[in-house]
Amino acid sequence: MGDDIEKTKNEALQVIGQHRDLPRLVVFDLDYTLWPFYCEFGDEDEEPYLYGEASGVLHALKEKGIDVAVASRTPTPEIATAFLRKLGIHSLFLAQEIYPSWNHKTEHFQKIHRKTGVPFTSMLFFDDEDRNIQAVTKMGVTSILVGNGVNLGALRQGLAEFSQKSASSR
């Protein structure tokens, strides 16, 4: 792991450590959430890359024992999966729901729930599309709209909102 990734991971571990109530599963979109492009405009021979802080955040969650998953509505699932493999992060994800869809990821989350058994209220979701955030929030998932990909700020916001929601439901 590079120095920048390690530094981000350590900062993310500190952020995670500030919260008592943590999600059991954190779900990520791919395009413009983990990486800054649409994979459908690429091909499997390309060298993909993540947003600067995304890898550190992913590795911190795994180190803390928080499972991660992918929910992506892409017309090119084979390219998305190839990119995850090339990036060496394919094996981090407990569930990968990557396929074309018109239903704002609700089907993705139903399948993730069935595979993992994790209740929607125990999930945290990051996506760059407001329509997905709105639809998944209605399912009970704490959902965060990202503007510049997953980073430490998005993680802070997500964990704060998740903790707030958990505390109020107790």
The active-site residue out of 21, 31, 45, 127 is 31
The active-site residue out of 29, 67, 127, 128 is 29
- Single-letter amino acid, residue 169: S
The sign of the dihedral angle between the CA atoms of 55, 61, 64, 69 is: negative
- Is position 130 annotated as part of the catalytic site? no
Query: How many other β-carbons are positioned within 10 Å of the β-carbon of residue 92?
Result: 18
- Is position 43 annotated as part of the catalytic site? no
Under 8 Å CB-to-CB from 52, ≥6 apart: which residues?
Answer: 4, 8, 149, 151
C-alpha dist (Å) from residue 14 to 37, 46, 56, 78: 29, 34, 12, 35
Backbone angles phi, psi at 126, to 5 degrees: -120, 130
Backbone angles phi, psi at 45, to 5 degrees: -85, -15
Q: Which residues are catalytic?
A: 29, 31
